[in-house]
Amino acid sequence: MGIPDTAVNDRITKQIEQQVAEGRQLGVQVCAYRHGERIVDTWAGTVGPGDDRPVGPDTLFSSFSTTKGVAATALHILVDRGVIDPSAPVAEYWPEFAAKGKGHVTVTQAVSHLAGLHTTPVPNTREHVVDWQKGVDYVANLEPAWEPGKETGYHAITFGWIIGGIVEAASGRHIREVIREDVAKPLGIEDEMFVGIPDGVEDRLTKLQTPETPREMPVEIPPDHDFFKAMPARTDVNYNELDVRKACLPSANGHFTARALARMYAALAFGGALDGVQLMSPERIQAMSAVVTRDMDRVIMRPMPKGTGYFLGGAVEGVVGSMGPRETAFGHPGAGGSIAFADPEAGLSVAVTLNKMQNSLQGEGPTFEICDAIRDELAVNT
**Residue 231 falls inside a structural domain:** yes
pLDDT of residue 364: 81
CATH code: domain of residue 163: 3.40.710.10
The DSSP 8-state label assigned to residue 101 in this structure reads G
**Residue 216 falls inside a structural domain:** no
pLDDT of residue 213: 59
**Residue 2 falls inside a structural domain:** no
For residue 360, what are the domain limits? 7-211+226-378
**pLDDT tens across 123-144, in order?**
999 999 999 999 999 999 999 9
Q: What angle do CA 307, 308, 311 make, to 5 degrees?
A: 40
Q: How many domains does the chain have?
A: 1
**Residue 218 falls inside a structural domain:** no
pLDDT at 246 over 80: yes
List the one residue out of 135, 138, 81, 88 whose CA is nearest residue 108: 88
**Residue 220 falls inside a structural domain:** no
Residue 217 confidence class, pLDDT cut points 50, 70, 90? low
**pLDDT tens across 61-116, in order?**
999 999 999 999 999 999 999 999 999 999 999 999 999 999 999 999 999 999 99
Residue 234 confidence class, pLDDT cut points 50, 70, 90? confident
Query: Which segment of 15-29, 206-220, 248-262 scores lowest on mean pLDDT?
Result: 206-220
Please give the Cα distance from 129 to 158 (Å, whole number).
Answer: 10
The pTM (predicted TM-score) of the whole model is 0.96
**Residue 196 falls inside a structural domain:** yes
- Residue 302 phi/psi, 5° resolution? -140, 155
Q: Residue 28 in contact with residue 357, Cβ under 8 Å? A: no
**Residue 113 falls inside a structural domain:** yes
Please give the Cα distance from 63 to 77 (Å, whole number).
Answer: 22
Paired strand residues for 37: 34
**Residue 241 falls inside a structural domain:** yes
| CA distance between the termini of the chain | 31
List the one residue out of 336, 345, 337, 329 whose CA is nearest residue 370: 337
Q: In the chain, helix, strand, coil percent, each to 5? A: 35, 15, 45
